[in-house]
Amino acid sequence: MHDATKKRWAWGRIHGAIAVPKGLLAAALVLAGWAAACEGCKATKPVKTQDITPATPTARLVLLSDLGAALEPCGCVADQRGGLARLGAFTEGNPFPVAVAAAGPTFFDCVDLDTSRAAQDTEKAQAVAGVLARTPFFFAPSRSDFAGGVERLRELVNTSRGKAVSGALTVAGQAFGAPGVVDMGPTKVAFLGYSGRSRDASVADVAGVQFGAEGGADGAALAKNVETLRAAGARFVVLLASGSRGEAQRIVDRAPGIDLLLVGTDAVRGEVIRDDVPLGRIEHTVVLQPASRLQSVVVVELVDRGGVFREGGLAEEGSRFSVRTEPMGAARAKSQGIGAILSAYDERLDGQNRVRYAGRVPVSVAAGEAHYLGVDVCTGCHTEPASVWRGTRHADAYATLTTRHKAFDLDCVGCHVTGYDKPGGSTVTHAKNLENVQCESCHGPGSKHVEGGGLKSAIVRKPDVAVCTGCHHEPHVDKSWRVEDAWPKILGHGHGRP
Ligand code: HEC
Ligand code: HEC
Ligand code: HEC
Ligand code: HEC
């Protein structure tokens, strides 16, 4: 106790002795620059010391929750948030060490791989791992991370050169992870994990995998781990928790030495985005849960001046850490290196999917039902609607994908073609004549209508608005998108108008 106080005091002195001359130098530079920029100004603005001597961090942690393999925003709307390339804005080119830590689904979003797209989702998970390999990485596996099985997850962890840190998570009775300790500049930072069982009864168990049980012994075990790690020199302790926020908070209650708790869930469940949860505090522990799918990250910066870390401004006395939520908006710089990994993934997937899904032919039509014909047939009798349609973006929707190597991406193609996965319609590899959002996307398959020489009863005159919202929904449209506003834009003389 006495020693610790003495050490802190000594550090304060050393810090002060360096900070003064640096501060004066900085002040002189700032004033010189200011005067040059503002010639003729009479008043000299007082310069606050804290503004011009920001403490340089000694380390930075970048924390993500529920990434859900969201590599990059789809691009359907301008200025979408998210995208792994923007992580680089925080992880690259810094004079201090940086680590990335994640809770909640990281490599996969859904809890089980859908067989129709397992190959693509596995490839995508590898791309995620390739990006994460660029920075020291720690995570608490969620139920979703086991979507491809235990061995697949081990491979992904290897590729990411990261560390699964949930000690209580076992596979065939053996611990799957262990606490991770990393030297970040002067500070030993420890990462521990808690991976809880899904509370959703419909989520099946993974054979041999035992998740932490709520209210179980995990909290006590973790508390012990924290003590051991502290005794071994860990000065900053982070708990990554995938599962129930309540249980994670109960663990913190039982394990007082945790500086940060990062919370994630067991599964992302599709494209739905969860917003930032405001920062919480339990005694000295700061509780974080940034928005899912990389809409935000939490950036934590440490200034190590010895002794105990406390949350606060980095320029304040003693060892400090600051916490801020950073939205991953369009203004954020993108890393070229990460961008290259993502482009390589797009190109690789484009090539692979053409081959691996080549046999995926359209579902056949039930006897007596109509199939899709394509716009060229309709144009033969409906020249005016066709020329109106050609003026809409629906007519170029496929080129939007081909120019980006995305036409064979299962995440994209469905809404940029006609009759996708419908009987007598298109598939990812069989979209000939049905490329773009054509007439039959809205009016339904037209073969019976045409066979009947324009049989009115065999075609939909006025599509339901649900047809539009089947493709026009978030995140592929802006929050402010209204079908009433969009509806008139696709009509014109001879197409729904005199
Ligand atoms: C659920 C349906 C849906 C899916 C899936 C989808 N899109 Fe879109 N996309 C849309 C809609 C709707 C628009 C028009 C949005 C608007 O302008 O309001 C659009 C627009 C776009 C645009 C903008 C085109 C322009 O001219 O400005 C791009 C680029 C795009 N999508 C690319 C993609 C990519 C890449 C993917 C896959 C990662 C994808 N889309 C998946 C529905 C979808
Ligand atoms: C052989 C000529 C022909 C072709 C090809 C054709 N139609 Fe028609 N379509 C007609 C005729 C004729 C009408 C009825 C016009 C009327 O009586 O007002 C009609 C009416 C329609 C209507 C309005 C139905 C209603 O209840 O008023 C829609 C929508 C339509 N067609 C869509 C299509 C689409 C989509 C295609 C392509 C798959 C297509 N048509 C191909 C001849 C054709
Ligand atoms: C099969 C999916 C699909 C359906 C169904 C669909 N759209 Fe679209 N829509 C798209 C895509 C994809 C784009 C963007 C195309 C591009 O630029 O690449 C788009 C673009 C648009 C645009 C231009 C962008 C904008 O918002 O100003 C309008 C308007 C529009 N759609 C209205 C509608 C309306 C109204 C309906 C229903 C009557 C509808 N769409 C049905 C997929 C669809
Ligand atoms: C994005 C959806 C969409 C697409 C694509 C589309 N239509 Fe329509 N169509 C509509 C809507 C909406 C109406 C108006 C229905 C109403 O108000 O009664 C309409 C009306 C019509 C009518 C009825 C005649 C009229 O003038 O009212 C015909 C015929 C028609 N469309 C043919 C076509 C053909 C042919 C194509 C392709 C070249 C096409 N449509 C593409 C949505 C679409």
Is residue 271 a contact partner of residue 80, using CB atoms and an 8 Å limit?
no
Q: Which residue has the tokens 């716009």?
A: 375
Q: Is the pLDDT of residue 373 over 50?
A: yes
Query: What is the pLDDT confidence band of residue 254, given thresholds at 50, 70 and 90?
Result: confident
**Substitution candidate for ligand 4 out of 372, 442, 484 with most atoms within 8 A of CB:** 442
CB neighbourhood size of 490 (10 A): 17
Q: Is the pLDDT of residue 43 over 70?
A: no
**Substitution candidate for ligand 1 out of 76, 396, 474 with most atoms within 8 A of CB:** 76
First to last CA, the chain: 87
Angstrom distance (rounded) from CA 196 to CA 218: 10
Angstrom distance (rounded) from CA 302 to CA 450: 70
Angstrom distance (rounded) from CA 18 to CA 277: 39
Q: Which residues contact 469 (CB under 8 A, 6 or more apart)?
A: 483
Query: What is the pLDDT confidence band of residue 212, given thresholds at 50, 70 and 90?
Result: confident
User: Which ligand sits closest to the CA of 407?
Assistant: 1
Q: Whose CA is nearest to atom 16 of ligand 3?
A: 397
pLDDT at 22: 35
What spacing in Å lies between the alpha carbon of 390 and ligand 4's midpoint?
A: 12
**Ligand 1, CB cutoff 6 Å, lining residues:** 74-77, 393, 400, 404, 406, 409, 411-412, 414-416, 471-472, 476-477, 481
Rounded mean pLDDT of 113-127?
Answer: 95
Angstrom distance (rounded) from CA 94 to CA 116: 42
Query: What is the pLDDT confidence band of residue 217, given thresholds at 50, 70 and 90?
Result: low
What spacing in Å lies between the alpha carbon of 430 and ligand 1's midpoint?
A: 20
pLDDT at 215: 66
What spacing in Å lies between the alpha carbon of 397 and ligand 1's midpoint?
A: 8
Residue 126: both structure tokens together: 């590898």
CB neighbourhood size of 17 (10 A): 9
What is the chain's mean pLDDT, rounded?
A: 88
Q: Is the pLDDT of residue 444 over 60?
A: yes
Weakest mean pLDDT among 84-88, 209-213, 331-335: 209-213
Query: What is the pLDDT confidence band of residue 32, given thresholds at 50, 70 and 90?
Result: very low
User: Which ligand sits closest to the CA of 483?
Assistant: 3
pLDDT at 44: 40
Closest atom, ligand 3, to C-alpha of 437 = 1
What spacing in Å lies between the alpha carbon of 483 and ligand 2's midpoint?
A: 24
Torsion on CA atoms 458, 464, 468, 470, rounded to nearest 10 = -90
Angstrom distance (rounded) from CA 52 to CA 24: 9
Q: Is the pLDDT of residue 20 over 70?
A: no
Closest atom, ligand 2, to C-alpha of 457 = 26
Q: Is the pLDDT of residue 392 over 70?
A: yes
Angstrom distance (rounded) from CA 185 to CA 156: 27
Of residues 151 and 31, the one with the higher pLDDT is: 151
Percent of the chain whose predicted confidence (pLDDT) is above 90? 77
pLDDT at 168: 83
pLDDT at 202: 86
Is residue 441 in contact with ligand 3, taking CB distance under 6 Å? yes
Q: Length of the chain in residues, anyone?
A: 498
Q: Is the pLDDT of residue 463 over 70?
A: yes
Q: How many CA atoms lie within 13 A of 138 on its CB side?
A: 27
Of residues 225 and 419, the one with the higher pLDDT is: 419
Q: Is the pLDDT of residue 26 over 70?
A: no
Q: What confidence tens digit (pLDDT) does each residue in 464-491 have? A: 999 999 999 999 999 999 999 999 999 9
Angstrom distance (rounded) from CA 406 to CA 427: 14
